[in-house]
Chains A and B, each alone.
Chain A
Amino acid sequence: MLEPLSKPLDKPGVRDAGTVTLKISGVSKYFGGIRALQDISVEFYEGEVHAILGENGAGKSTLMGIISGALQPSAGEISFGGDLVSPLSPERAATLGISISFQHPAILDDLSVLENFEVALPRSVFQDKPPREVARAALDLVGLHLPLRTRADVLTVAQKHLLEIAKALAIKPKVLIFDEPTASLDQEATDMLFGRIREMMEAGTSVIYITHRLAEVRLIAQRVTVLRDGRVRGVARVDEISDADVLGLIVGRTLGSAFPPKSSRQENEIDFAVQALSGRHFSDVSFEAARGQIIGVAGVAGNGQSELMRALAGLQKSQGAIRLKGRTLDHQSLVHEAAFMPSDRHSEGLASGLTVRENATFAALEKFATYGVLSRKEEMTQVVAAFRSLAVKAPGMEAPILSLSGGNQQKVVMARALLSKPGLIVADEPTQGVDVGARAEIYRILRETSNAGTPVIVNSSDAAELEGLCDKVIVLSRGHVVATLSGKDVNEARIVSAAVGAATHIGDTGAADRRNTLSGWRHFLQSDNAPTFPLTIVTALLGLYIFSQNSNFLSSYNVANILLAATALGFIALGQTVALLVGGIDLSVGPLAGFLVVIASFFVNEDQSFGMIAVGFFLMFGGALVAGLVNGILIRFANFTAIAATLATYIGIQGLSFLLRDSPGGYINAGVVDIINRQIGPIPIAFLVLVAFALAGEYALRRSRPGWRLRAIGCDQDSARRVGVQINRTYIAAFVLSALFTACGAVMLMAQIGVGDPRQGANYTLSSITAVVLGGTSLRGGRGTFIGTVLGALLLTEVLNAVAFLGLSETYQYVFQGGLILISALIYSTVQRRGDA
């Protein structure tokens, strides 16, 4: 475990630079037994830019996570301005003035640019000035000229990075952390950023700057700390250390695993060639591989390597020529020809619910089958043979795949690749998360495969690995090949210096973009409320049509009827909207509404005192509160899916209704019914209340912190957590709110049914979902509209009413309902897809 620390580079005199703002002492971090950081101690000084340098996986981002409060260290402490501040939460860190600009911007796509500011920044930032001015000023600072109401999903990657930086700057932080800020910025934006950093520095901010690029360290930083394998390898003043010394600290990791001998053949036959290949995030890549050669792809992570690998595997479109053994392949045939070993085993490599055997064979099933029926014997024989040659260690063929170690999981992925007898192997980070012993095995297998004549392409962020394994290495920077190394040049130092030293900037500009300059009208079409317009028109036209067929349709009696029914549905649908906004679904709303009416039927009767009636209403809302809490807690703390949790409460609540009353009974107080159904002209007051609720809800959704939080977690829970939203609390609150809206609906329902009937209510689950979908709320979460929901409820009720007025059979009632939901869902999904494109 212990290896001697490299000689520390800090010289006497370095430490007396200024006041220490932030001090990390003895911090270690373990992820499930794997060490990410060990005994890190660093001091950050006021008015200084402190660069943190290191290869991928050195522990830089973990360290920043700890400083920003997103991660808790396993050991060690953090002090700020001399006071001990650990344990640190994201909120605490923000209050202290620690601000971070994440490598993967914590931008919520479904929120507008302004809302992204408002949800992420502490209230104190907006104390002196209105939010628009704060946001505008911060955006001007980074040169991002966008309308504030632009939805973040139309921003380019570079613009999202600038927005992330603007958010970090707006706090006017004492400690400002930049995690690889320039990865997708062009030269101009980078210069601008450096300018800002210098200003911050002069104002006394302590800036922590994480990067892979040595050139940037020279430009901007005063002090540099080098991390390797989770430890500090050295701290130095930038002007006192040479590039060579820094490189020496970054590299020099001992792999400790043996590499197989490289290709010694002198064949000139080119098996695999790529010419001028371009695609998303990489362009003009060319290389060729002679038989028996393993090609390595190197570079700082996120410079187009993984996209190139996907393109080579046919999983991503590309332009240019790919030739395999004389045949030119398009991306369709590449999918079948290439065996892809993804870098993220868990998301793309393994099917975690399946066994070892099933995981090994699902790409090659047809090879063990006659007429589509599998031969278990044949399958076993081949898998056992493959496992033997790959030395897979598994407790059994039927063991769950995740019970294997990372290395053996990866070997299973390799076994699958080899069993499908591919023409090409594309291995993306094949040894990530793999222990040393298994690495050697994986190198051996890749070499054997290559020797047998199957071209092998390996992407690795570990330069030493490429040095040991590959015959030729191409180094990518910002999507371009900056070096093609072969022979003796394939060594770690050359690879790292090519990757780190490259200064090309081809990222897109963060400046104005034609897509973002939307006129007011176009902006409305893009907003969550866009569906309200067509919905209103359809509702009105349909109303006029029915009126033309039967003039009684618009009689004040019928209008009131429709509105009352729509109010009951509307309230329940508002609740459903809240559940959908956070990315859940509440199936229990229907039975809950019915159940609450049953409760009311015991209290809100003719002969009851005012007090008892009040108790009845109290119990209705109390019952709803409990139901909402149960749903929320089951989902957040018992790990139920929203569907499973609310399905269980659905059945349970229905049972409770029948337990209280097995047949209809308990007539509702007529006076109360009258009050609930009171009208102004043909318009029920309750409907006006519903509209008021929807408008207030809409306002809260767009203009208040709880509203942004709801939408934030529906949009992306991970980003929401990083900007400091309390996921559990917000999620449970959403389900409680859903239940409380349902209780309002139940009050209306009570007046309409007039009796406690355990059979009523359940169908409101489906109609509430229908109304919400009609209204344009997305079932993916994050985007929704209360106004649309009310209109959806209105349209649905109108359609059902129309069937009676047009003298149509019940058939049409269902056909209209089904047609409406499908057509609207199709329209919305098409519109959204176009928006995404």
Chain B
Amino acid sequence: MNQAADNVTDMLQRRGIFPYPVAQGFVTVAASTLVLLAACLVFAPSSVSPGALAGSLPFAAVMAIVGLGQLLVVQQGGFDLSVAGGVSLAVVIAAHYPDGDNARVLPAVLLAASCALAAGLANGILVGFVRLNAIIATIGVNALLYGAVFAVSGGVPRITTPLLAEIAGGTTLGVPNSVYFALVALLVVSFVLKKTVIGRRFEAIGANPAAARAVGLHVRLHQMMAYVCSQLLCCLAGVLLAGITREPTAFQGDALLLPSVAVVVLGSTSLLGGRGFPVSTVVAAFFLNQLSQFALAIGVPYSAQTIIQALALGFGIGVYSVHWTRNTRRSVK
């Protein structure tokens, strides 16, 4: 019996092409993305033209950043529904507060960041320490955030500041700046998760809070930090959106809530918590965004796009849930 198990893993190991073991989810999502890109080149070359990419990549980048935030929360077995409010609030603060004045962009960003910190702490304390259900707590905080959105904006869009438009919406070396922001966010999240004591403890706590508690780790503190980081990343995404979109509305974040969960799932992170895959999440964000572009280019109406997304999501969960059951249900004594 043990030998059988050893053989299986041997097989799994040998199947790896890389000397370093690569996460199964990453292979899946990267291969899907390559297939999609090939399909784009063949059937809808316009969707991968430099012009189209310059237009769509910034949104992929924003989705990736929000997805990274959601990833951290999902790793702790939680769920951040206040992503929508968090992004929207950062958008309106970054667009309304400076009111076209470049000099006030930095204070606006700092203000947005402190709001995000407060929202994240509220979520984190309610979930981590008061032990409220994550869905309830983040629905509540989301509503409060929208309250703030309307307090700041009154619900009317405002044209963004030139400086912000240049920083967030501009390009460097032909690549949209927002992509660099997303890459930096990815690097930081990956480094902290995989290379630091805090990050590794964070993953262990997500994988099994009971085991983590048994070795004396501070479970609740780490759970709280997940929500704080999620809101800070939402804030970054929101500020970028305020620059990318010429006239951002007050509900800019709503459209990001479901995709944020979808990219986490497609990136093969289990909704039950545990190990997180930031690189896969970012690739999944690009994949999901490009899928929409592809559908758009071959003339599929908006409606069918979301169906495609739902199928991709369902398929993704289906593929990985087979994997999960192998991991979680084997605890037969």
Q: How far is the CA of A779 from the CA of B208 in the complex (A)?
A: 21
| Minimum CB–CB distance for A490 against chain B, Å | 27
Q: Are B150 and A354 in contact (CB under 8 A)?
A: no
Name the residue on B nearest A758 (C-beta).
B303
Quick one: CB contact mask for A651-687 with B, threshold 8 Å, 1 for yes?
A: 1101111111010000000000000000000000000
Q: Are B274 and A649 in contact (CB under 8 A)?
A: no
Q: Is B298 an interface residue (CB 8 A)?
A: no
Q: Is A405 an interface residue (CB 8 A)?
A: yes
Given A351-B204, A362-B200, A647-B258, A825:B307 Cβ within 8 A: no
Per the CB 8 Å criterion, the residue count for chain B at the interface is: 90
Which has the most chain B C-beta neighbours within 10 Å: A649, A659, A770, A822?
A: A822
Q: How far is the CA of A34 from the CA of B333 in the complex (A)?
A: 9
CB within 8 Å of A: which B39-84 residues: 79, 81
Q: Are A435 and B207 in contact (CB under 8 A)?
A: no
Given A336-B216, A638-B321, A829:B9 Cβ within 8 A: no
Q: Are A647 and B313 in contact (CB under 8 A)?
A: yes
Given A655-B306, A810-B155, A643:B21 Cβ within 8 A: no
CB within 8 Å of A: which B229-268 residues: 258, 261-262, 265
Q: How far is the CA of A432 from the CA of B213 in the complex (A)?
A: 21
Q: Are B13 and A641 in contact (CB under 8 A)?
A: no
Instruction: Name the A residues within 8 Å of B307 (CB-CB).
Output: 651-652, 655-656, 659
Q: Which of B26-34, B97-105, B141-149, B159-167 contacts A (4 or more CB under 8 A)?
A: B141-149
Q: How far is the CA of A372 from the CA of B197 in the complex (A)?
A: 5
Given A396-B13, A398-B21, A315:B135 Cβ within 8 A: no
Name the residue on B nearest A762 (C-beta).
B254
| Minimum CB–CB distance for B187 against chain A, Å | 14
Q: Is B111 an interface residue (CB 8 A)?
A: no
Q: How far is the CA of A342 from the CA of B208 in the complex (A)?
A: 13
Per the CB 8 Å criterion, the residue count for chain A at the interface is: 95
Contact of A648 among B150, B308, B313 (CB under 8 A): B313
Q: Is B272 an interface residue (CB 8 A)?
A: yes
Instruction: Name the B residues within 8 Å of A349 (CB-CB).
Output: 211, 214
Q: Is B118 an interface residue (CB 8 A)?
A: no
Q: Are A655 and B9 in contact (CB under 8 A)?
A: no
Instruction: Name the A residues within 8 Å of B198 (CB-CB).
Output: 372
Instruction: Name the A residues within 8 Å of B132 (CB-CB).
Output: 822, 825-826, 829
Name the residue on B nearest A31 (C-beta).
B332
CB within 8 Å of B: which A622-643 residues: 634, 638-641, 643
Contact of A353 among B141, B311, B327 (CB under 8 A): B327
Q: Are B258 and A651 in contact (CB under 8 A)?
A: yes
Contact of A362 among B151, B215, B310 (CB under 8 A): B215
Quick one: CB contact mask for B10-21 with A, threshold 8 Å, 1 for yes?
A: 101100000011
Q: Are A354 and B79 in contact (CB under 8 A)?
A: no
Q: Are B140 and A818 in contact (CB under 8 A)?
A: yes
Name the residue on A nearest B273 (C-beta).
A353
Contact of A365 among B149, B200, B333 (CB under 8 A): B200
Q: Are A400 and B301 in contact (CB under 8 A)?
A: no
| Minimum CB–CB distance for A129 against chain B, Å | 41
Given A403-B8, A655-B307, A779:B327 Cβ within 8 A: no
Contact of B151 among A347, A408, A811 (CB under 8 A): A811
Name the residue on A nearest B11 (C-beta).
A395
| Minimum CB–CB distance for B76 against chain A, Å | 12
Q: Is A404 an interface residue (CB 8 A)?
A: yes
A sample of 17 inter-chain contacts (CB < 8 A) reads: A31-B333, A347-B208, A350-B208, A353-B273, A393-B6, A399-B12, A433-B333, A639-B325, A647-B261, A651-B307, A654-B310, A655-B308, A658-B303, A766-B81, A809-B150, A814-B143, A825-B136
Q: Which 10 A-B pairs have the closest CB atoms?
A: A658-B303, A818-B143, A351-B207, A405-B2, A652-B310, A655-B307, A655-B306, A353-B274, A815-B147, A346-B331
Seen from chain A, the residues whose Cβ lies within 8 Å of a Cβ on chain B are 31-34, 313-315, 335-336, 339-340, 342, 346-354, 358, 361-363, 365-366, 369, 372-374, 376, 393, 395-396, 398-400, 402-408, 416, 420, 432-433, 435, 585, 634, 638-641, 643-645, 647-652, 654-660, 662, 758, 766, 769-770, 773, 779-780, 809-815, 817-819, 821-822, 825-826, 829
